[in-house]
Amino acid sequence: MPSKDNSHQTSSLNQQKDSNFLSQFSASDEQKEWFSPTPKGYQKGRTKFVVVIGTVMSGLGKGIFSSSLAKLLKDKGLAVAPIKMEGYLNIDSGTLNPFRHGEVFVLEDGLETDMDLGTYERILEQNLSRRNFVTAGQIYGDILDRERRGDFLGRDVQMIPHVTGTVKMHLRQLAMTGGPNGGPADVVFVEVGGTAGDYENGFYIEALRELAFEEGPESTCFVALTYILEPATLGEQKSKAAQLGIKRLMECGVQPQVIACRATNPVTEKVMQKIGMFSNVPLNRIFSMHDRESIYFIPDAMREAGLDREILSLLQLHNRVNAGKEDQSRRKWSEFSSRLVAPRSRRVTIGVMGKYASLRDAYASIDKAVEHCGIWLNASIDLKWMDTSTLESKADVAAVLQGVDGIIVPGGFGQRGVEGKILCVEYARTTRLPFLGICLGFQMAVIEFARNVLGLANANSTEFDPKTAHAFISELPDQKKLEGIVGASMRLGAQDVAIEPGSFAEHLYKARMVRERFRHRYEVEPQYIDALSKAGLHFSGRHPKHPIMQVLELSASEHPCFVAAQFHPELTSRPTMPQPLFMGLIAAALIRKHPQAAADELISRWLNASAATAAAR
C-alpha cells in the first residue's frame, strides 16, 4: 500500500492534534448547562463501552487485562477499539524518559505513545492510531484552543461540564471511527491510567460515569481491577485492601459490574464472596486473575471463567457474535498456544547492547519481538541486557560477548554508550557474529564501516560531533530548520520501504515493498552512499523515491547475518506474525550455535515462518 509522499515529514504540536476533532463541537452545545457533545451522526447504543479502572495499586496489568478481553470479543467477530487515557499533562509520550516510563511506542500515524499501546497492538494484532490514546494534556489543550477561539460564548470554562464533555466527545468519536476501515466499533475498551482515587485521573472517571448515564442501560460495563494481598507472614489471602479500593471507586459514583482480582495465587471463593458482598457484585462476575506462566494464556483463562459471556450479556451483544469467525480465530490461537508450550530443545543467547540495561521496559518491544521468534523457531532465547557505556576497548567487548550467539544494537538518543555500540558492531562484523542494528544501531553500523573499512577515523553522526569532517549520519532536511524544539522535530510513523530484489532483506521479508515505523532525526548522508556501497555495505531497503537509506546489509559471502534498519522493526512484530528481520537474526544465531544439529530443518522452519509472516502482512 503506497503512502503519500511524506518522506521527510516531521511532527509538530499542531500536527499531533486531530484536525477534525475541534470541528465536531457545535455552538449550541455550549449553551446548555449539561455539556454533552456528540459527533455528527452519532448513534446512541450502537457502540458499547467496557471501562477498566484499577484500584489498590497501579502496575496490575490493566492493559493486558483489557486487551485480552478485547481480543476475546474481537475473535467473536466484533469490532473493538481500545483507548488508553493518561492523566499526565504531556501531549504525548515522546518526551518521556524510557528509564522512568518504559519505551516510547510509535503508532502508524506517528503518534508517540505509552508502551501499553504496544500491548494492545500485539494482543489484538491490530494497528492503532492517535484516536486510541489520550492524555490530560491533549484534553486541556483542546479546551484552551476552543476558549481562545471564542467557542464558549462568555461562559466560564469548567472541569465539569467542559473537561468531562471533551472526554466524552473523544470516546464517542472513537466509537464512530475506531472499527475496521474507520467504521464504527462494536465495543470501545477504555483503560484509565493510574488507580481510582488519583487526583489526576478523577475527571476521566467522572466523564465515564456521565457517559454511562447518558448512553443508558446496557451500554457500559465497568470493570474494577483490584489486588488481593497475600502476606507471607499470614499465609492467606486478605480482601480488605481490595474492598477499600473498590469503595473508593464507588465513592466516585461508579458501580462496577465486574471485578477482576489480580493475585499471585488463585483467589479463594471466600475472598471473592467477601468482595462481592461489600461491592454489590454477584459471585459469577468476580474473577480470579492470578499470575500465569505467560500473558498469552490469559485470554483462554478468561474464556474458561466465562468472562466473555458475562460481558456479552451485560451489554446485550450476543446477537453480534459470528460463530464461524470465532472458530477460525480460536484455531489460529490454539496453534500459537501449542507452539508456545512446546518443549524448546535449543537455547541461544542474544546480547542487547543498549544503555538502559537495567530496565527491560525501556526495550519492551524488542523483548517481545525476540519472544515471538522463539515461539516460531522453537528456541529458548536468553536475552542478555548490556550497558555499552562501560565498554571501552575491543577486549572489553570480546569479554562481554563470550558465549553470546547474536547481538542487537537498539535505538537510542544522545552520546552515552555510543562508542561502545560502535565497538560491538565492529566485533560482530569482523567475527561473523549475527547482528541486527535498529535505528541508532543502523547509524552506528554505517559509522563503524566508514571508520574501519573506508579508513575515515573521524567519521561520525552530527548528533555526536556536529563539526565532524565526515558526517556520514546527518540531520534530516526538515530537522535542520527546526532545531531546538524537543519532541517536535522527528520523522515519525509508518513509511514504505522498497526492498532490493535478491537481497538478504528480500529473503527475509519475501516482499519487495514493506511498511515499517520510524522515529529518528538523523539519516545516512546521501553523498556517501556510493562509497559505502562500493566498499560492500549494501543498502537493500530504501525510500521508494528519495535517497533515504532504510535497511543495510553485508553480502551472504561476507557474513551470515549482518543487517540493520533505520526503522524500528520491533514495533511491528506480532505473536502470530513474527518480524522478519528478527527471525533472520535468531535463525542465524541458532545455526551458529547448533551447526551440526539439523541446520537445514531450522532454515526451512525459518523460511516457512517468514513466508507465513509475509502472507499475513
Active site residues: 439, 568, 570
Nearer to ligand GLN, 246 or 490 (CB): 490
Nearer to ligand GLN, 279 or 489 (CB): 489
> What are the b/e assignments for 184-211, b being 16+ CB within 10 Å?
bbbbbbbbbbbbbbbeebbbbbbbbbbb
To ligand GLN, the closest distance from the beta carbon of 116 in angstroms equals 19
To ligand GLN, the closest distance from the beta carbon of 431 in angstroms equals 24
Nearer to ligand GLN, 426 or 463 (CB): 463
Residue from 405, 410, 418, 357 nearest 379 by CA: 405
Q: Are 164 and 207 in contact (CB under 8 A)?
A: yes
**What element of type H or E holds 435?**
strand 435-438
d(CA 534, CA 571): 31
- Provide CB contacts within 8 A for 475, sequence distance 6+: 462, 463, 521, 522
Question: Which one among 187, 440, 494, 497 touches ligand GLN, defined by CB under 6 A?
Answer: 440
Nearer to ligand GLN, 178 or 351 (CB): 351
The DSSP line for 267-295 is PPHHHHHHHHHHHT--GGGEEEEE--S-G
Nearer to ligand GLN, 109 or 570 (CB): 570
CA-atom Rg of the chain in angstroms: 25
Stretch of residues binding ligand GLN (CB under 6 A), selected from 42-50, 60-68, 258-266, 407-415: 407-415
Subset of 493-552 contacting ligand GLN (CB under 6 A): 519-522
To ligand GLN, the closest distance from the beta carbon of 441 in angstroms equals 7
Nearer to ligand GLN, 248 or 521 (CB): 521
Cell of 179: 472499527
Cell of 150: 471564542
**What element of type H or E holds 249?**
helix 240-251
Sheet holding 48-54, edge to edge: 133-135, 80-86, 187-195, 48-54, 220-227, 258-263, 286-290
- Provide CB contacts within 8 A for 96, sequence distance 6+: 90, 104, 114
What is the distance, to the nearest Å, from the Cα of residue 28 to the centroid of all Cα atoms in its chain? 39
Nearer to ligand GLN, 443 or 540 (CB): 443
Nearer to ligand GLN, 209 or 519 (CB): 519
To ligand GLN, the closest distance from the beta carbon of 281 in angstroms equals 45
What is each CA distance from 80 to 33, 180, 560, 577, in whole angstroms? 32, 9, 42, 20
To ligand GLN, the closest distance from the beta carbon of 366 in angstroms equals 12
Q: Are 305 and 288 in contact (CB under 8 A)?
A: yes
Binding-site residue total for ligand GLN (CB under 6 A)?
10
Rounded to the nearest 10°, the torsion over CA 344, 347, 352, 357 is 80
Residue from 462, 473, 476 nearest 532 by CA: 473
Paired strand residues for 234: none
Stretch of residues binding ligand GLN (CB under 6 A), selected from 25-33, 172-180, 405-413, 541-549: 405-413
To ligand GLN, the closest distance from the beta carbon of 278 in angstroms equals 48
Question: Which one among 61, 374, 412, 578 touches ligand GLN, defined by CB under 6 A?
Answer: 412
Question: Which one among 411, 420, 578, 580 touches ligand GLN, defined by CB under 6 A?
Answer: 411
Q: Is 352 in the site for ligand GLN (CB under 6 A)?
A: no
Look-up: residue for cell 543502523? 442
To ligand GLN, the closest distance from the beta carbon of 449 in angstroms equals 17
Q: Is 565 in the site for ligand GLN (CB under 6 A)?
A: no
Stretch of residues binding ligand GLN (CB under 6 A), selected from 202-210, 406-414, 551-559, 574-582: 406-414
Nearer to ligand GLN, 520 or 543 (CB): 520
To ligand GLN, the closest distance from the beta carbon of 426 in angstroms equals 19
What is each CA distance from 48 to 21, 134, 172, 209, 313, in whole angstroms? 21, 19, 10, 14, 12
To ligand GLN, the closest distance from the beta carbon of 88 in angstroms equals 22
To ligand GLN, the closest distance from the beta carbon of 142 in angstroms equals 28
d(CA 86, CA 261): 22
To ligand GLN, the closest distance from the beta carbon of 118 in angstroms equals 15
Sheet holding 379-387, edge to edge: 379-387, 346-354, 406-409, 435-438, 562-565, 549-553, 538-542, 491-499, 513-520
To ligand GLN, the closest distance from the beta carbon of 43 in angstroms equals 42
Q: Are strands 522-524 and 435-438 parallel, antiparallel or unpaired?
A: unpaired
**What element of type H or E holds 87?**
none
Q: Are 99 and 23 in contact (CB under 8 A)?
A: no
* Helix, strand or coil, per DSSP, at residue 69: helix
Nearer to ligand GLN, 363 or 606 (CB): 363
Residue nearest to ligand GLN (CB): 411
The DSSP line for 361-402 is GGGHHHHHHHHHHHHHHTEEEEEEEEEGGG--SHHHHHHHTT
Nearer to ligand GLN, 104 or 423 (CB): 104
Question: Which one among 96, 208, 254, 439 touches ligand GLN, defined by CB under 6 A?
Answer: 439
Nearer to ligand GLN, 520 or 559 (CB): 520
Subset of 454-473 contacting ligand GLN (CB under 6 A): 463
Q: How many residues does the chain have?
A: 617
Q: Is 413 in the site for ligand GLN (CB under 6 A)?
A: yes
Applying CB under 6 A, the residues found at the interface with ligand GLN are 411-413, 439-440, 463, 519-522
